[in-house]
Every structure is written in C-alpha cells, then in structure tokens.
Amino acid sequence: MTDYEVRVGDEPVGEAGGWRLDWDDRARGVARLLNGEQSLRILVEGSGTDWVVTLRGRRIPVTVRSWRERVMAEAESSAQTHAGPVEVKATLPGLIVAVGVAVGDEVEEGAALLTIEAMKMQNEVRAPRSGRVVEVAAIAGQTVATGAALLRLE
C-alpha cells in the first residue's frame, strides 16, 4: 500500500479516516467519496498531483503526492537551497491578488511573497528559502497558470 500526502490548498490533511474514492465516470471526472454509509458525489479536474475537486458547488484545490513524490520534492527543494538563484513558480492556476515584495527586498524562508486566489480560496506563496528578490514577474490582477514563473530569489 502506498502512503500519500494530501493537501487542500496549502494545508495538509490528516488521516483519510476510511474515505475511499470510486470513479463513476473517470473520463468526465465524476466520482464518489465513500465512507461506510456516507457517499458524496464530486467532480474532479486535473492530472498528476494537482487537482480541483468540486463538492456541493465549492471548488477546492487538492494536491496528492505519493511518499516517493514527496521525498523527491523535498530533496529538490533542499538542493535548490544550496544552488544559486531559485525561481518561484505558481503551484496552481489562479488570479494574483497581492504581491508583497519588490526587487531588492530581503526575505526569510517561509515569508509570504504573494497571494493567488484559486476557486475563491486565497493561497499564500511563501519563500522556499531566505534570500534577496532579484526579479518579480507577477503583477496583481494577473491570471497565472500552474508552473508560471512568479519571481526569482538569489
């Protein structure tokens, strides 16, 4: 059995508590969350590790990574910490509602850099490491896709 890390927005989700996903129509993204007698119909969009789940009209960004994917991402992040400039990219599509840094600003690891609104939820993009902002490509009001370059730290 593979262990998975599940995040809703930027928040980790604890144990699944016996919930299971069954596809009604995978091609159209129609599924059910099942737990004993409980059954919730959901719509699922996305691929890979990044998904958007629609439950009762609410769109929720969800990230699901296997143990291996999580370890690889942590190793990559650690390697970037020790290797020159790092490009901060959008982890989900959305609207940039605030940019809190400018070129030349010194930031600490974990500091809020900007805010992206996706599915009516605001998600802060945080600094992956301490450094100086050398480029800001993001502009408030701009729509970005997953993987879009937002800024660079040195």
Specify whether 56 is located in the same domain as 89. Answer: no
pLDDT digits (tens, 9 = 90+) for 130-144: 999 999 999 999 999
Domain check: are 88 and 144 in the same one?
yes
The pLDDT tens digits for 52-108 are: 888 888 888 877 777 677 677 776 766 555 567 899 999 889 999 999 999 999 999
Total structural domains in the chain? 2
- The model carries a pTM of 0.49
| Domain identity same for 94 and 149 | yes
**Does some domain include residue 71?**
no
Residue 56 sits in the same domain as residue 100:
no
Q: Would 75 be classed as within a structural domain?
A: no
- Residue 53 is part of which domain span? 4-66
> 74 in a domain, yes or no?
no
Domain assignment present for residue 79? The answer is no
**Residue 60: which region, alpha, beta or left (left: phi > 0; alpha: psi -120 to 50)?**
beta
Residue 134 C-alpha from the chain's centroid: 23
